[in-house]
A = this chain, B = another copy of it.
């Protein structure tokens, strides 16, 4: 993807997450962002503009929020209301959906003292931290919530399973290809055809 396409794709993912959240039992979502956002789909959503890195920004939110509080990353091209509802349904003190590669794609904490530290294998640290705080832990086994938008392979998943704007964005530009070894990838549509 071009840089411009990347931005548009991630924006589409964010709108998918917001629209999915709005169909769940969750309270009104707040968009945590480093600068005010203004594009189709984010109107009507409260924004918290924080000029910090991800970890301190989220921890400020956690310090100020009343529990239960949930944090969902914005780049989930397969997100659906049902997938998010599985994050909100359990009554464990800490409910978490791992991302592929050990990230933390979404969580809900009922423990006010919980703080994040985002990095590659943050999932393990977050579970450990929650347990240290005496929290019961529930891990949500969701393919949709585990799939973020980091790599070209993730576009394959968006094409195959996505149901929102992010998937539409990819489908307008890319198609699935299967090579001779029956591995699957994506390629840009040949506009010369």
Q: Which A residues have a C-beta under 8 Å from some C-beta of B?
A: 82-83, 86, 98, 100-102, 119-121, 123-124, 141-146, 153, 156-157, 160-161, 176, 178-179, 182-184
Contact = CB atoms under 8 A, between A and B. Distances in A.
Contacts of A100: 143, 153, 157
18 contacts: A82-B141, A86-B141, A98-B161, A100-B143, A100-B157, A101-B153, A101-B156, A102-B160, A102-B176, A102-B184, A119-B182, A120-B183, A120-B184, A124-B160, A141-B143, A141-B144, A142-B143, A143-B146
Contacts of A121: 160, 176, 178, 184
- State the copy count for this chain: 2
Nearest to A78: B141
Contacts of A183: 101, 120
Nearest to A181: B120
A145 B120 CA distance: 22
A161 B161 CA distance: 23
A182 B82 contact: no
Contacts of A142: 141-143
Nearest to A80: B141
Given A119-B182, A142-B142, 6 more contacts: A83-B141, A101-B156, A101-B157, A102-B160, A120-B179, A141-B142
Contacts of A124: 160
A121 B119 CA distance: 32
A148 to B, nearest CB: 12
Contacts of A82: 141
A100 B36 CA distance: 35
| A-B residue pairs, 7 tightest by C-beta | A143-B146, A120-B184, A120-B182, A120-B178, A101-B184, A119-B182, A143-B143
Contacts of A144: 141
